[in-house]
Amino acid sequence: MNKKGRGLKKYILNAFLWLVLAAVVFLAALEISGKFEYLRITLYDHIAGEDAKLSGEGTREEPYLIRTSSEFAIFADEVNSGESVFKGEYFILDSNIRLTGENARVPVGVDGEKYFDGNFDGQGHTISGLKMTGEGVGLFNYLQGTVRNLTVKGSLSGKNVGAVCGVSDGARVYNCYADVEIDGSTESGFVGTGESEIENCVMAGESVDSRQLNSNLGQYGPKADWCLWETVGDSARLTTEKVAVINHLETEMDAQGKQLPLKAFYSDDDGAWHFCVPPGCRFTEGMAHAQLGDSDEKYSFQLRFGDTSAEINGVSYVLAWDAAAEAFPALMVKTYAENGEDYLSAYKGNELPGELFISEGGRITSTEIETISGRGNDSFEADKKGFSIKFPERTDLLGLGDAYGFNLLPGHRDNSILSYVVQRDLAKEMKLDYCHDYRLVNYYIDGEYMGMYMLTEKMEIDRNRFALRDLAQETEETNGGDLSSFEMKTEGEDETFPDKVWYDIPLEPEDNTGGYLFEINIQDYEEDESRFVTDRGVTFTMKGMHYASKGQVDYCRGLWQDFEDAVYSENGYNNKGRHFTEYIDLESFADQWITYEMVCESSMEGSIYFYKESDALGDGRIHAVWEWDCEHAFMSYKDMDKESWIMENEENGEKLEEFSCLFWREIYKHEEFREALAKEWKAKFLPAVTKLLADGDLMGADGSVFNTEGVSPLSAYVREYAPLSQNNYLRWSNGTIEKKAERIDKFFEKRLPFLNVFFK
């Protein structure tokens, strides 16, 4: 290339660099001066174009990020297309954006089917350029979710228009500012029409004290950072500066001479921090300690019983005092760790030692806990988590029989726990085999009231549980002790999901025919837990035999496989010439089948139990166990009043196939099993359900007569458990006994006529 060409190239390159530098300086100057503050965003949108997309996972920890008008348009499109309502998911606005062109006229949400039901946090940023005309229009045309910390600017015209949303269906608008010109009708300026909660929000031109707005921020919950307000003339504007609000609030209470922690919980129901004092304990006054935000920053102040508010760093918090239901025991776990509850809730495998304080009948006793850990399958993902308690020696806890361990069930989808109670009591009424007992309790961990829980026996082989031969212990004794040191072995082509898992245990008891406790567990088992998979894909774990020998696993798999082959055959016989009824206790299998069918229980991937005693001690057959995981029961399903949930329901059929439980459908095809269903329904289930739905006055108008040995009328449950349910409602904002009882009653009103015909 000649000098002239090289010079021209250099000139063009330098000119381009100078142009870029000038643009950067110009944009910086614009930002500093505050003029044309959206030009940078517009340029970014222009460059990104169709490549713009939302980043993030939609969780509280990793929310979806919206940084440009293009990304906001993507968000709107996904909602308006019906792609998702984003229920419970999180979005944050990460910068100011200006809506231009068509984007200024396209709202989020269309109607009662296509709407936003997530959490949108503006972080103090502004969405401007809003320009909409019509009925029920706004930034969100149709909103069920929460919008907070957002400034909206633009213009609206029409009937029932609102800066944040046109039509609200229980929407919540917190800590927002609107500078919107409205030509038409509106309920509040923020919401056009519909039921809504609008708190701490300001329309441009309103006379308001920013200090009062900032003081109010304590009532909107501890799980979010709130943006501060600044004074502008005689009004206020929202800023991007955050204020850290209380995350934890605690003091100490007297437990009959022992000092125990007492933590407050925040209730969305009334926007207050509640101290729920356990029976037998008291608090008069003392120092309280509040942790602010996600930092370790703490604030201490003098607290007295009955104080209704506290002010910390210019933010006011509402306080409330509750007494836990005295008629029910309180179980108070004190872990030997700082922030023990947070640690246990982070991962189900985490465990801690501690001490258990039991308040019952006016007395407080204590006992050592070897470990407390989380429990549950999908339920452990919920905020209200289940726990498992293990003692260093056999302990009789609240009269449930001495054992090493107990479970605390939270009711993942039913915080009232009534679905558990009713199912358990129906099983007791029908005297089903090995029906476990339970107690409803006030549960605390490290001083924090966790709500109403169901203390229950564990599903395990034990003298006070499944009183079967303890084959695991015999195997240990035969091999001189602990079996965990033996090598794990697997069989199958898939290394990740092997067909069999066992341990290379050298010695076995002479009789490997029982006792066994099996669980259908499709997905939530320990990787090193002894288990097997049948030819048709049903996974069984061997409860209580974590370290089983090859002979034991082979025996169990062979037994289930022979049964499965017989069930899947047309005449009920396998290739060994044995009928499926020779392998199972037909009555208990019918009882289990009816239980799931009756209440439309949809949990099929785990917690379905069976047991087998040794041939020398038992009948040599597999026995089915009543439903254990019943928190999905009594929910509404399509055509529940005119179709079989197991045999005909399309949605459930997909679930059965997905979790490989189709032998439930195959066994129904055999006449012997259908006859057993009809017999059990008429003899056991129908009388028990009739008693459940009976007039509660038959039990005594004051509720003093309550059947502890079987099932009671629904109204009796309401009278008995309402005091315990009230604080639970404050803690979790749903799941009252009254609401669940009404739902169960309506459920059977539709379901029972169909079942009476179906089980003929």
The pLDDT value recorded for residue 652 is: 61
Residue 320's contacts (CB-CB under 8 Å, 6 or more residues apart) are: 267, 270, 272, 273, 274, 275, 308
Q: Roughly how many angstroms between the first and final C-alpha of the chain, as a whole number?
A: 97
CB atoms within 10 A of CB 611: 23
Query: DSSP code of 694?
Result: S
With H, G, I as helix, E, B as strand and everything else as coil, classify residue 242. Answer: strand
* Structure-block tokens of residue 138: 């706004």
Report, in angstroms and rounded to the nearest whole number, the Rg of the chain calculated over CA atoms: 31
Closest Cα to residue 580, out of 518, 463, 454, 664? 664
Residues of the chain with pLDDT under 70: 1-53, 103-104, 377-378, 523-524, 604, 636-637, 650-662, 696-706
Q: Which two tokens stand for residue 637?
A: 């399903």
- Identify residue 218 by its one-letter amino acid code: G
Alpha helices, DSSP H, located in 445-528: 471-478
pTM of the full structure: 0.82
687-709 pLDDT, tens per residue? 999 999 998 654 444 444 567 78
Q: In what helix (H) or strand (E) does residue 229 lie, and over which residues does it extend? A: strand 226-232
Give the single-character DSSP code of 436: P
User: What is the full DSSP assignment across 269-327?
Assistant: TTTEEEEEEPTT-B--EEEEEEEETTSS-EEEEEEETT--EEEETTEEEEEEEEE--TT
Domain coordinates of the chain in residue numbers?
46-243, 246-323, 471-686, 694-758
pLDDT, residue 48, reads 43
- Nearest one of 313, 309, 312, 263 to 283, comparing CA atoms: 263
Query: Measured in whole angstroms, how far is the alpha carbon of residue 651 from the centre of its chain?
Result: 21
> Residue 2's pLDDT is what?
46
Alpha-carbon distance of 218 to 273, in angstroms, equals: 10
- Which one-letter amino acid corresponds to residue 85? V
**Please, is 217 exposed, middle or buried when counting C-beta atoms within 10 Å of its C-beta (0-12, 13-18, 19+)?**
buried
Taking only the tens place, the pLDDT of each residue in 196-247 is: 999 999 999 999 999 999 999 998 888 778 999 999 999 999 999 999 899 8
Token output for 731: 């803690």
C-alpha to C-alpha distances, 33 to 29, 70, 94, nearest whole angstrom? 6, 25, 21
| Dist. CA 137–CA 115, nearest whole Å | 13
